[in-house]
Amino acid sequence: MDEIITNLHLSSLTPATKTPALLAAKITLVLTISDSNLPLSTRTSFLASSITQLHFSVHDLPSDDLLAIFPSTCNLIQTQLASNKGVLIHSGIGMSCSAAVVTAYIMKVRMLGAFEAMDLVRERHGGIMPNLGFVNQLVVWEECGWELFEEVDGERRKKSAYEEWKGEAREGSGKGKLITWGCAGGVKEGKGKGKEKLIDEVCMCESDA
């Protein structure tokens, strides 16, 4: 379990089940970002220790809409940190789903591009590697200005970058370019507030839907 910024922690499954360690770190909120929830015994222990746990059901698949939970997870994290309380974000191995959620929060509160924020998280929790679909979604999050919806003529609508991504995910088209770390070859392309990165075209997995 690593502290990314003050009171915001990231881990794999095992540290998330250690109630005494969570209490020692002042963690009173645990967000589980995974297709399976924590064991019942752990959740029972949390209840007895006044630790709140919320489960966001996400599969570690490029086509899963992780973007959809970013507004909720960012608000939950912000509320917790504003109260000077600890929050733990975890997934199975703490490298993809949960790392992307933490990165999305860092992007919003520090107004960073996707890759600047991922670099910051990597410095404190080595080896994070969100799947390429989640990396692409972080770029979309940046393009949306860290808000997925906007008011148009009194109507709440998805921002165009989010709407476009959802359409491509439904079609399994993989249109556009996914930015990756340290690709061999490729070309350089500036991306918003992020650094220039090497990019390759990568097909997204077809959605099960």
180: three-class secondary structure by DSSP: coil
The residue-averaged pLDDT of 73-95 equals: 96
Is the pLDDT at 183 greater than 80, yes or no? no
Could you report the per-residue pLDDT of 37-65, keeping only the tens digit for each?
999 999 999 999 999 999 999 999 998 99
Burial class (CB within 10 angstroms; exposed 0-12, middle 13-18, buried 19+) of 50: exposed
121-164 pLDDT, tens digit per residue, is 999 998 899 999 999 999 999 999 998 988 888 888 888 888 88
pLDDT(196) > 70: no
Question: Which among 69, 65, 92, 99 is positioned nearest to 205, based on CA atoms?
Answer: 65
pTM of the model: 0.80
pLDDT at 103: 97
Domains parsed from the chain with CATH numbers:
2-200 (3.90.190.10)
Residue 150's pLDDT is 85
C-alpha torsion 55→60→65→67, nearest 10:
70
- In eight-state DSSP terms, residue 69 is G
**E-state strands within the chain:** 2-5, 8-11, 27-34, 52-57, 86-90, 149-152, 155-158, 178-179, 187-189, 197-200
133 Cα distance to chain centroid: 11
Output the six-digit token pair for 155: 């109507």
* Closest of 142, 136, 132 to residue 105, by C-alpha: 142
DSSP-derived pairing of the beta strands 2-5 and 27-34: unpaired
Phi, psi of 116 (to 5 degrees): -65, -45
Angstrom distance (rounded) from CA 39 to CA 153: 46
Q: Which two tokens stand for residue 99?
A: 């790392």
pLDDT of res. 172: 67
